[in-house]
Amino acid sequence: MNFPFQGTITAERGRITSQIPQSGGITIITERDTHHYPNGWLYPGFTDTHAHIFGLGARLNGIALYHCKSAEECIDILLTASPTNDSWYVGMGWNQELWNKPEFPDKKILDKYFPNNPVYLSRADGHAAWVNSAALAIANIHSYPTNPHGGSISIDEDGNPTGILIDNAMDLVKKYIPSFSDAEIQKRILSATKQCAAWGLTEVHDMDVHPRYLPFFREMAEAGTLPIRVISYVSAQNDEWDIENLLPAVGEFLQVAGIKFYADGALGSRGAALLEQYSDAKTLGLFLIDAETLYQKAKSGLDSGWQIATHAIGDAANRMVLDVYERLRNEGYKKEEYILRVEHAQIVHPSDYARFNSLGVFAAVQPIHCISDATMAEQRLAERCFYSYPYNSLLKNGTIIGGGSDFPIESGNSIAGLDAFIRRIPFNGSNSWQSHEKISRREALRAYTTHAHYLSGNEYRRGLLDTKFDADFTVLDTNILECAEETIADAQILATYTAGVRRFSNQLL
């Protein structure tokens, strides 16, 4: 690993042309300007291998409920907001596990304050929604509803919907929400990508992208207004890419590279598919797609040139996805030519660790989920926490992992992700959680730099501070490899460069 680096680095036409090691800070010389960072350390640009750009834009510009401690606090925020989509109130981020009473909310409190306007509030993990009676009526959901495949409509003892929709049941209401205006879409993409640059990110693998948003990304990339590189993975659960006649496309700032599937739900809403029953509920979770259907859809995608990314959180879901991927490999879709990814890989049975490497499957993991989920995971999984968020186990078995955040569910701050990988200390905690799964500083940096680019097939041109590589840099005030471990989280991002242009700086200009 040739970083962190101190010295002078020169870039032309967006590529590194030379580097001169020395001590005492960083000097970056580009076609546009020269900047010196006396206390800086240079890293290849950090990459988030799993996130949601439009979702971050919605969090920054819409109704955000992430820090609420109760249903009442959510109502207080809603009462100060305006409808975001015509007459609808659309928000995101509630998490009952953070509330004073960690129980799913009910439609009744929404009905009290919003009897006429439909309300749709997605949970922090995006795998559950809290809606009111007006929204349920629009979707024609009444007493004793029929659950859709891969989804659940919560009901009370009288058979009436409580207002909680899990996984595929969310779509029953979501499809009626009016679309955002073109101006609002552009605003949300721009604000989100600027925030990414401030987090030290030069590239984001954007997951589950709605086909409607792609033209906006493309226009912004061509106009030079995207401050980071975007690798898009298009929604595919319902064949969206095929219906829209989309094919992969390459570009400097936008690469439409893959298609995204969901094998199961999320742990917090008990939708993750487990091999054994949840420790705190009589359920095995939810499969959102069956193995044969996933195989057929993935095969079709591979034949059209797409990379395949599949969300799998529970150990049953991870095993099913690996089974499908093994079938594809055995049929000639070689790992040297076809990229297969598992998104999250949160709970992996130990007998499946080695299969990732043997099948040439990459794992896009989010270390900040680990430190955020710890308390909840112990309730859901009990002793199975020992093989949950198994970053070190995957690495020891030869798997290439890419670091990320799943923002806006969690913060996309790259420093927070590195710290979570290395120290694995839960929020409001003081000790490492399942410390046998901590990884080294070098391994953590690789997950956000060199190895991150294997997950999109760009390792030949990104992730190293070397000549002919893209001039994507993150400048920190700290040498992550040598600083005291407890100070890693305090590292500051001094600047972010993409294609040799400074996109963010916290210095006075």
If you write DSSP's letter for every residue of 364-425 in order, what string do you get?
A: EE-HHHHHHHHHHHHHHHGGGGGGBS-HHHHHHTT--EEE---TTSS---HHHHHHHHHH-P
pLDDT per position as a tens digit, 172-205: 999 999 888 999 999 999 999 999 999 999 999 9
| Full residue range of the structural domain in which residue 38 is found | 7-44+471-505
What does the alpha-carbon distance between residue 148 and residue 453 come to, in Å, rounded to a whole number? 37
- Residue 228 and residue 111 share a domain: no
**Which two tokens mark 157?**
């003892």
pLDDT per position as a tens digit, 143-155: 989 999 889 999 9
In this prediction, residue 1 carries a pLDDT of 52
- Residue 241 and residue 157 share a domain: no
- Residue 366 and residue 282 share a domain: yes
Name every residue whose Cβ is closer than 8 Å to that of residue 484 and which is 6 or more positions away in sequence: none
pTM of the predicted model, to two decimals?
Answer: 0.92
In this prediction, residue 509 carries a pLDDT of 38
- Residue 257 and residue 143 share a domain: no
Which of residues 174, 191, 224 is at a domain's end? Answer: 174
The single residue listed with the structure tokens 């005030």 is: 477
Inform me whether the pLDDT recorded for 85 exceeds 80: no
Average pLDDT, the chain: 95
- Residue 169 and residue 265 share a domain: no
Chain center to CA of 157:
36
Inform me whether the pLDDT recorded for 508 exceeds 60: no
Structure confidence at residue 323 as a pLDDT band (50, 70, 90): very high
Structure confidence at residue 225 as a pLDDT band (50, 70, 90): very high
CATH number at residue 170: 3.10.310.70
* 3-class SS string, 21-84: ECCCCEEEECCCCEEEECCCEEEECEEEEEECHHHHHHHHHCEECCCCCCHHHHHHHHHCCCCC
In this prediction, residue 57 carries a pLDDT of 95
Pairing mode, strands 89-94 and 119-123: parallel
Region of poorest pLDDT, from 85-89, 162-166, 278-282: 85-89
- Residue 271 and residue 170 share a domain: no
- Residue 162 and residue 78 share a domain: yes
In this prediction, residue 270 carries a pLDDT of 94
| Percent over 90 (pLDDT), the chain | 91
- Residue 376 and residue 275 share a domain: yes
- Residue 416 and residue 300 share a domain: yes
Between 86 and 281, name the one with better pLDDT. 281
- Residue 164 and residue 187 share a domain: no
Q: Which amino acid is at 415?
A: I
Inform me whether the pLDDT recorded for 82 exceeds 90: no
Q: Is residue 465 part of a domain?
A: no
How many distinct structural domains can be found in the chain?
Answer: 3
Inform me whether the pLDDT recorded for 448 exceeds 90: yes
pLDDT per position as a tens digit, 90-133: 999 999 988 988 899 999 999 999 999 999 999 988 889 999 99
DSSP 182-233: HHHHHHHHHHHHHHHHHTTEEEEEEEEE-GGGHHHHHHHHHHT--SSEEEEE
Mean pLDDT of 410-436: 96
Inform me whether the pLDDT recorded for 301 exceeds 90: yes
Mean pLDDT of 254-269: 96
Inform me whether the pLDDT recorded for 300 exceeds 80: yes
Q: Is residue 152 part of a domain?
A: yes
- Residue 280 and residue 342 share a domain: yes
* CB-CB contact of 90 with 222 (8 Å): no
Q: Is residue 2 part of a domain?
A: no
Q: Which amino acid is at 354?
A: A
* CB-CB contact of 88 with 177 (8 Å): yes
Inform me whether the pLDDT recorded for 239 exceeds 70: yes
